[in-house]
Chains A and B, each alone.
Chain A
């Protein structure tokens, strides 16, 4: 999708100090086209890192390159390619959902927008049509969050920064939005998520960095991290019913690969659970199918979090 050969985001020694206290300490990361998550406890430095990448917070030292451009020098070029959902979302009074999106869209990159985008994104984020022209002040917190997500995605920016994207959303809505964000990811958008909700990360991210006390303590593909910490149980779960192969056919496909999985996989109604020493290869197979999601077994990320952050 992207013509850039370098990583989408390259962070070099990013540091932020407040009154000589380092809240982000010399972060070095490379994020390629993926759904990347920053995971860590409250106050670990996730939001500050994200805000530094957006140049809303000035780094004390270090820099980052987004799509090859230095954020310190070329933020003007970069900002039109970025969508951002702040952690604490708020809206002006006396504005409707539709007019808010119209305003944001009018300020975004017009080359990547189409007629009817506003309606399609209002629909996409799950707001009922009857609410589109209501004052945002009358919206529930969940509806505001949905509108916030829509404004981040509208105009189809290349990179999305989502800070605690699914907070305030009910469980059903959460599932629906996870699927939609994953679809966007498949369309080639790079999604950066900051969260301390493990379930959210487990279902959305394919790459992550654990951040604690301002430092990156571990990073990489989730399945690589899981394996390197001795967690070799994985699952493929069905997340859609649109066009792909049946779960049985997929189980047969991975079972047929020589030495790929150890033992026989367990097939549940919507999941295949298995052990493998080569999760990268399984990920490659599963990536072809949009209706399936490959992750460490449910709960593994929680264990990983405790091992890395709680140690």
Chain B
């Protein structure tokens, strides 16, 4: 009997659980609504574009880089709200309706969280891809040009990590609080403080994720427009924090979740 189990343990995989969560998320009405909403900023951009048709590659790159990536995604709370909306009940919802799969599978806590985070990353990826593709389709029909690949990739990375940070923050709250309504409130509170310059007003820039992200945006702007890579110690720290904070939040989430008690009384 012991051999049975040892043999089986080697073959054990949580793949069905990952596919179960992914299917549920991607086919959910909520996700469909988010995808539809992802087109709204594009519509706003279309209105702002007006009758002006950029004829040069630089023109379309500028619209993509400054209007779309910077003002529509990074400076706007809209996408952040969507990412909070996608993530908020990811763990807390399971505890609220007492359906947490960890109770039935008794699986490893960290594995279950990794599965959930992976499918969140994938969901956000799909969401960002659709958003960027829709911009490309529009720009192609509008002026028969697409943004250059280097602009596109840099913009995608910035937008993706912007969303990933708020996903990680909401994920942490969802895991630790396990009640959906406060999970919405905390990341949104942080988001509004960040967007409305609260941290800047009180010289607390170091607490602002957007501060790091905008520095990264400037870093990429320098590379894309003047081919100049300006590396300073401060920039390295900004880069590390902008790309590392989502991961750090996720590691904290896993650590905390392995330490807390799980019960659905």
Residues of chain A at the chain B interface (Cβ within 8 Å)? 2-3, 47, 51, 54, 56-58, 76-77, 79-82, 84, 86-94, 103-104, 106-112, 151, 158
Contact = CB atoms under 8 A, between A and B. Distances in A.
Interface in B82-118: 94, 97-99, 101-108
B14 interface: yes
A112 B12 CA distance: 13
A82 B17 contact: no
B207 interface: no
A104 B105 contact: yes
A56 B1 contact: no
A57 B262 contact: yes
Contacts of A79: 106-108
Contacts of A106: 16
Contacts of B7: 111
A51 B263 CA distance: 8
Contacts of B9: 76-77, 80
B17 to A, nearest CB: 6
Given A57-B261, A90-B97, A103-B16, A84 B104 contact: yes
A56 B262 contact: yes
Nearest to B27: A94
Contacts of A110: 8, 11
B99 A107 contact: no
B225 interface: no
B143 to A, nearest CB: 43
B196 interface: no
A94 B102 CA distance: 18
Contacts of A90: 97-99, 264
Interface of B: 1-2, 4-5, 7-9, 11-12, 14, 16-17, 20, 24, 94, 97-99, 101-108, 259, 261-265
Between A54, A58, A91, A107, the greatest number of chain B beta carbons within 10 A of the residue's beta carbon is seen for: A107
Contacts of A2: 1
A30 B152 CA distance: 64
A11 to B, nearest CB: 18
B107 A86 contact: no
A86 B17 contact: no
B91 to A, nearest CB: 13
A111 B17 CA distance: 19
Between A58, A79, A90, A93, the greatest number of chain B beta carbons within 10 A of the residue's beta carbon is seen for: A90
A111 B265 contact: no
17 contacts: A2-B1, A47-B265, A56-B263, A80-B5, A80-B12, A86-B98, A88-B98, A88-B264, A90-B98, A92-B24, A94-B24, A107-B14, A107-B17, A107-B105, A109-B5, A110-B8, A111-B4
B98 A89 contact: yes
Given A80-B8, A103-B17, A92 B99 contact: yes
A44 to B, nearest CB: 14
Nearest to A148: B104
A18 to B, nearest CB: 9
Contacts of A51: 261-263
